[in-house]
Structure 1
């Protein structure tokens, strides 16, 4: 009701019906919508009008490769931002999305879900851990005594001036005059000779495998869980000491081999690995607050690298080499070569420890990207979504009747050969085929448009027109738009044809070129000229059902007389 008609002049060459309607709608700032098989509705292109007049459908999409509700929410967010769809409902327990919108939005939503709902790439990571330890100890020499003990032993007094002492066995001042060697006892510790050498080798090889999904963290722990006491400490009676733990609690620490890896699969068989490798062990104990606490020795690597499939990478070789020398004996004498082993002892201790990590990724499931995923999709102009429909049936053409130009419809077909009709619109229910008497005839006020087909005599003048049956209705002319020659542009007649109106008088056909020569005023007209053109009688309608099940089947030079979808 609020739409105002206007006159425009356009020139279209070798375009489809859909392209022609879109061009006219773009020039007039309108949009068109299919109402029925032979009727379209045109309105002003506004947001309110589109919401009011566009047909909406509902569809449920089931995602096959969703493993967490967050992934389902991410897919819903993507559809909302791309399609501008507000009516969307998530069903997490079934991994489903329910959408309501236009048919074009549903088609694009199906493509997006097909592109995104793919199984995640998967990687198997071989980890080789080599730990080699070697300890060599040598002890050579004499361990001499380093101390002596002298004790005075009291003697017994004799008449001839021998050693004397008090009767109770103690020394007196007078007895000091009679001291002899027998009154002293010296004790010297014994010396020890050491000639010892030890050499030990230890090799530890671990080869675990981790299978992880793309961008998912995988953890491997091999070893023990050591308890560690935790709590608060307090002073013991103000003496500065440390009391026992108050409210003692224990937590467990993983000791051994701990591996955390997060893979990221790229194209062309490459993988990025973000990993944390740790090798730890209990190296000793320490008394804290009266409780023996373990001392943990740790070797840790945090690394990120990008590798090809099957490429081996040495993440890091941790080499620890400890050497200690000790010398004990008499001063200066231990510096004499060779003789130093008689007056002292020398000990050498050397320990070597090496750890090597070898990482090898193997891609067992790569990222699936097909040509359909990379194909561009034409969404029309503006904020509205408009996607061209295709026929999914085997052998069908890639374009519907609205997307086929009149110039190429007769190519590659012989007389009587049938072309494939388009599918019915997904927004309408499929109706039963109608007989010729049941087919609706559009009125003059409507704008029914369908692809024009060349008549039998125009495409092949040597073939006469088929005679209508006795009970067939009289032939009816078709109102056909004419085109004026340059320089004034007008709408071409080959792309459009209105349905014939009943009981109209036959009018001789007028060719566009002859009309331009006989009517020069038509070139200066501001609107498209319309002339009635007589079309030869069509062949009788066939009783065969249309492939789509919604249109009447009739042959004109082998073309199905079906209206567009």
Structure 2
């Protein structure tokens, strides 16, 4: 029996355990499925999918060691794959992609030290790249700014002609077409002439005869004569076409210019100048920039040049004046009071009031009166009673006697008082004002005064029953308003308003103490010289006041009036003077250039003409004094010719003056012939070295032009530099110097000319300095070809051509 009980107990415990325990076979089957699928993905190296499947298997059975080992193994491999992918991307330069891969690797395997270190290294590289990109961008901005500045500085203005000869001494041509005239003038002046391919000739021939004219004048004469428009396109080239509206619009150069005006004070002045430019110069594109006082202009060359003249005339500093305002005021008051009289009730004279003071026996009756007041707002009432004393019954009137009345005895006054008061006020404010601008000066105080009041018309809760009073302020003191107009350096017209006020008294108006303001105001327009004193206004006031008080009748008697009356005499004097003294401290800088009129072309075309540059005159030559003959004649030399007789007694020998600029030759000695030579004559230089030489002129007289053509072997020498010598720069005149080096041909053309109209150079010195570089070995000669030296009269100077030998080692 006991055995069966034990068996039943064991069966019950086993059944309970089976009921509580989860289904082991189902769990193992699902986890095994995830494990197998993960192994398949791992074999295909899809570690991300394998890790996901292994983690699901661990979720089915977290205590299974096989599942845990698989997760740890694949997590390491998946993180390593991400790290390798990030390294490849970084090597390819994709730092952002590498950083993403390293972040994924670190997220998969947080224990991976290599993923953390590579991520940190990549982020540092990204930051460095960003910083370098920012620096590069800033460098690019700086380079762009420098390039812009370089472009701005390289922008060229309108070309200006720089011909070889600016003065045309003589030009006479008869019955020639326009092209021949201009081409001939260009050759004389050393200019290139370019014609418009669409130029239409009129078919007429013209004659011209110019003497002692400048190049600009000659071009203008020809353009007017042939109706041709010309303009410079380079320093030595001019362009010509027909002179009509279409061609001018197509070929006339435009100029953009910015004017920074310095003396404007209001935007209205800038607009006025812009309007003047549009009206006077016909420039359509004029744009003001008021905040900087700037005018931007785009127009033709002559129109913009005319705008230069107009702005120079208008942009002048305004005149200024300093004005001394002198306000002088003197007041004097004298008072004398004399009195010997009776005083009753505080006043001079007799005042004897008789009061009723009844005796007790009269039996006065006391009475009372009652008055009441009520307030409708607060519903309160007040009652007062007043007793009436001194009332006598009518039945007792007969008992009234003299002792029932009382009288007050007056006092006596003896007074002798004198006062003397004087006041002097001097105000001298100074104000500085600009031409046509109003300036104000206020010295004093601002006093308030009531201008009105109001009270709410509806009484309600929350509305104040008080009266609101409005106040304004009055300037009390010295107020000066001046608007000057400066006329030149010593005169000024002033529109002046001067207000001098003070508080004289205060009166009660509606319960408010209002000031009584005394005012003296002057309005004036006056024209004065600088430093001249002008008295604008003066006021003199004398006031005498005499008052007598005392007993009438007796106070009018000749002797007794001194006893029964008092006399008060008051004398007051006042003087006010206002003066102005202007001082002109600045005037507009108007020069003769601003007042001078200029030629501005015709109604259809604006054309300005410029004066030619003055030609420097020849240097004054110092005349050497002729030595005086000795007083004692030397004995004749045997065999010598007898000396010529001297001048008659009393006559001085006339000195012979030589030609200016030419050295005087000794008598009987022939001057040496002019010649050219290289210095040195023979030179030696090593390969790739530099060698220099000078072409010097000796014993030349009145040398004005020296065109040269130099020839050398280009296989041995190369000309690197040609500079002007000092011979033709005599007298401070800079010679005209041009050069054309052709190293491939082994030639160079050099032109040296003195300024037309000046005397030539005399003496000895270098003409040009040459610098060669040795490019090949051997010996060569440098020769001068086409040598044509000329004097100031364009006459040739005969000389031999020099030769220079150079040996290259």
Structural mapping, 1:152-551, within 5 Å:
152-155=356-359, 165=362, 180-232=401-453, 247-389=468-610, 396-397=613-614, 415-416=703-704, 435=740
TM-score by length of 1: 0.63
More helix by share: 2
Deviation at 1:234, TM superposition (A): 7.6
1:81 corresponds in structure 2 to 279
Q: Could you tell me whether the CA contact under 8 Å between 1:123 and 1:364 is conserved in 2?
A: yes
Q: Could you tell me whether the CA contact under 8 Å between 2:325 and 2:428 is conserved in 1?
A: yes
2:355 corresponds in structure 1 to 151
Aligned CA distance change for structure 1 residues 297 and 184 (closer, same or farther; 3 Å): same
Aligned CA distance change for structure 1 residues 267 and 9 (closer, same or farther; 3 Å): same
Distance in 2, Cα, partners of 1:191 & 1:118: 82
* Structure 1 vs Structure 2 CA RMSD: 4.3
Q: Could you tell me whether the CA contact under 8 Å between 2:317 and 2:587 is conserved in 1?
A: no
Q: Could you tell me whether the CA contact under 8 Å between 1:150 and 1:186 is conserved in 2?
A: yes
SS of residue matched to 2:330: strand
Distance in 1, Cα, partners of 2:554 & 2:505: 37
Instruction: Say which is worse superposed, 273-282 or 259-268, in terms of deviation.
Output: 259-268
1:41 corresponds in structure 2 to 240
Distance in 1, Cα, partners of 2:207 & 2:469: 90
2:648 corresponds in structure 1 to none
1:119 corresponds in structure 2 to 317
Q: Could you tell me whether the CA contact under 8 Å between 2:453 and 2:468 is conserved in 1?
A: yes
Is 1:91 aligned to 2:289, yes or no? Answer: yes
Distance in 1, Cα, partners of 2:467 & 2:605: 70
Distance in 1, Cα, partners of 2:597 & 2:733: 25
Aligned CA distance change for structure 1 residues 97 and 151 (closer, same or farther; 3 Å): closer
Q: Could you tell me whether the CA contact under 8 Å between 2:349 and 2:551 is conserved in 1?
A: no
Distance in 2, Cα, partners of 1:39 & 1:94: 39
Deviation at 1:257, TM superposition (A): 0.8
Q: Deviations over 1:258-309 (max 9, x none)?
A: 1112222212411222211111111222333433322211111111212212
Aligned CA distance change for structure 1 residues 371 and 436 (closer, same or farther; 3 Å): farther
1:544 corresponds in structure 2 to none
Q: Deviations over 1:106-141 (max 9, x none)?
A: 222222222222222222222222121222222222
Instruction: Choose which of 53, 57, 81 in structure 1 pairs with 2:251.
Output: 53
Distance in 2, Cα, partners of 1:22 & 1:338: 113
1:101 corresponds in structure 2 to 299
In the alignment, structure 1 segments of 5+ residues that lack a partner are 157-163, 238-243, 400-411, 424-431, 438-452, 460-468, 473-536, 541-553, 559-565
Distance in 1, Cα, partners of 2:499 & 2:411: 50
1:5 corresponds in structure 2 to 202
Q: Could you tell me whether the CA contact under 8 Å between 1:154 and 1:170 is conserved in 2?
A: no
Q: Deviations over 1:442-495 (max 9, x none)?
A: xxxxxxxxxxx99x9xx9xxxxxxxxx9755xxxxxxxxxxxxxxxxxxxxxxx
Distance in 2, Cα, partners of 1:387 & 1:556: 34
Aligned CA distance change for structure 1 residues 294 and 175 (closer, same or farther; 3 Å): closer
Aligned CA distance change for structure 1 residues 123 and 398 (closer, same or farther; 3 Å): farther
Distance in 1, Cα, partners of 2:450 & 2:601: 68
Aligned CA distance change for structure 1 residues 538 and 86 (closer, same or farther; 3 Å): farther
Q: Could you tell me whether the CA contact under 8 Å between 1:233 and 1:289 is conserved in 2?
A: no
Q: Deviations over 1:15-57 (max 9, x none)?
A: 65545554565567664444554434232433x5433331111
2:270 corresponds in structure 1 to 72
Distance in 2, Cα, partners of 1:288 & 1:236: 22
Is 1:139 aligned to 2:337, yes or no? Answer: yes
Q: Deviations over 1:369-409 (max 9, x none)?
A: 22222222111222322112457xxxx5289xxxxxxxxxx
Q: Could you tell me whether the CA contact under 8 Å between 1:320 and 1:352 is conserved in 2?
A: yes
Distance in 2, Cα, partners of 1:170 & 1:96: 101
Q: Could you tell me whether the CA contact under 8 Å between 2:349 and 2:565 is conserved in 1?
A: no
Aligned CA distance change for structure 1 residues 288 and 12 (closer, same or farther; 3 Å): farther
Q: Could you tell me whether the CA contact under 8 Å between 1:145 and 1:188 is conserved in 2?
A: no
Q: Could you tell me whether the CA contact under 8 Å between 1:144 and 1:190 is conserved in 2?
A: no
Q: Could you tell me whether the CA contact under 8 Å between 2:256 and 2:296 is conserved in 1?
A: yes
Aligned CA distance change for structure 1 residues 90 and 166 (closer, same or farther; 3 Å): closer
**Larger Cα-atom Rg:** 2
Q: Could you tell me whether the CA contact under 8 Å between 2:551 and 2:564 is conserved in 1?
A: yes
Highest RCO, 1 vs 2 (Cα 8 Å, sep ≥ 6) = 1
Q: Could you tell me whether the CA contact under 8 Å between 2:274 and 2:286 is conserved in 1?
A: yes
Instruction: Say which is worse superposed, 265-274 or 321-330, in terms of deviation.
Output: 321-330
Distance in 1, Cα, partners of 2:449 & 2:333: 30
Distance in 1, Cα, partners of 2:223 & 2:553: 111
Q: Could you tell me whether the CA contact under 8 Å between 2:544 and 2:571 is conserved in 1?
A: yes
Q: Could you tell me whether the CA contact under 8 Å between 1:390 and 1:398 is conserved in 2?
A: no
Aligned CA distance change for structure 1 residues 390 and 194 (closer, same or farther; 3 Å): same
SS of residue matched to 1:435: strand
Distance in 2, Cα, partners of 1:12 & 1:149: 129
SS of residue matched to 1:64: coil
Aligned CA distance change for structure 1 residues 144 and 250 (closer, same or farther; 3 Å): closer
Distance in 2, Cα, partners of 1:398 & 1:123: 45
